[in-house]
């Protein structure tokens, strides 16, 4: 059963990687050198197998507060897998002995008890010239329609407070000697955005999320930065 699920996930990853719009997670991972040491903060939704499929020679460390929507045994994929209590999440990151070439925070900050201290903890775990990928719901999502699968920020009851502050994140990164390589408040890549104009018609009727709907609305904010000091 595990093997079959893993094959299905790899096929899905290959299909999605065909598009890999600039600034998206797939595009970012395709630019990561082989043998990189990677820290994945909030590594749910099959992120470990995505990273290890695209970068099999990488050393992958995942940290989360629970095994969230990973359709396989993460311990068979990750080189290290750490579960932390929510109130100890920042401390758990800080206590990691290694520094990393790449840190990924894909839809994690909005779930954290202290999102900006979590961000600072990530920064201090980057090697010089290490790269940080951050994605999170845009600030505009508080006004988006409600859909199953999350379009309005508050569709997900585990989202805390308001969406992360895009400008404050940029400020924290720059204050800590990171150079911004890519940033966008509302991610609307052309192909997926075009698909979304059609799938939105179905989504609006069924009240569910389909491929392209996030991109049609610009649900995600994305920032990619490099530690230069």
Exposure of 87 by Cβ count < 10 A (0-12 exposed, 13-18 middle, 19+ buried)? Answer: exposed
pLDDT per residue as tens, the chain (229 positions): 445 566 666 666 666 666 677 889 988 998 999 999 999 999 988 899 889 988 999 999 999 999 888 878 888 899 999 999 999 999 999 999 999 999 999 999 999 999 999 999 999 999 999 999 999 999 999 999 999 999 999 999 999 999 999 999 999 999 999 999 999 999 999 989 999 999 999 999 999 999 999 999 999 999 999 999 7
Beta strand residue intervals within 94-219, DSSP E: 100-106, 126-137, 178-184
Q: Do residues 114 and 88 touch, judged by C-beta distance below 8 A? A: no
Q: Do residues 82 and 95 touch, judged by C-beta distance below 8 A? A: no
CB atoms within 10 A of CB 119: 24
Pick the CATH number of 2-227 from 3.40.50.720, 1.10.3470.10, 3.20.80.10, 3.40.50.150: 3.40.50.150
As given in the structure block, the two tokens for residue 103 are 């840190």
């Amino acid at each position: 059963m595990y093997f079959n699920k893993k094959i299905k996930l790899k096929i899905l990853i290959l299909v999605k990687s065909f598009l890999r719009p600039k600034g998206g997670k797939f595009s970012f991972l395709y630019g990561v050198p082989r043998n990189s040491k990677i820290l994945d903060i909030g590594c749910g939704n099959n992120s470990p197998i995505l990273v290890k499929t695209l970068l099999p020679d990488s050393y992958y460390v995942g940290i989360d507060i629970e095994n969230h929507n990973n359709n396989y045994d993460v311990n068979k994929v990750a080189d290290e897998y750490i579960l932390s209590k929510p109130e100890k999440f920042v401390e758990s990151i800080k206590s990691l002995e290694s520094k990393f070439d790449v840190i990924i925070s894909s839809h994690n900050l909005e779930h954290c008890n202290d999102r900006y201290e979590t961000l600072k903890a990530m920064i201090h775990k980057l090697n010089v010239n290490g790269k940080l990928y951050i994605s999170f719901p845009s600030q505009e999502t508080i006004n988006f329609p409600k859909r199953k699968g999350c379009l309005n920020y508050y569709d997900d009851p585990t989202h805390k407070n308001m969406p992360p502050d895009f400008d404050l994140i940029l400020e924290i990164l720059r204050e800590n000697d990171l150079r911004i390589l890519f940033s966008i408040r509302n991610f609307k890549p052309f192909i997926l955005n075009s698909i979304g104009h059609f799938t939105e018609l179905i989504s609006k009727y069924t009240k569910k999320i389909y491929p392209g709907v996030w991109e049609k609305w610009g649900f995600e904010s994305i920032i990619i930065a490099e530690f230069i000091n």
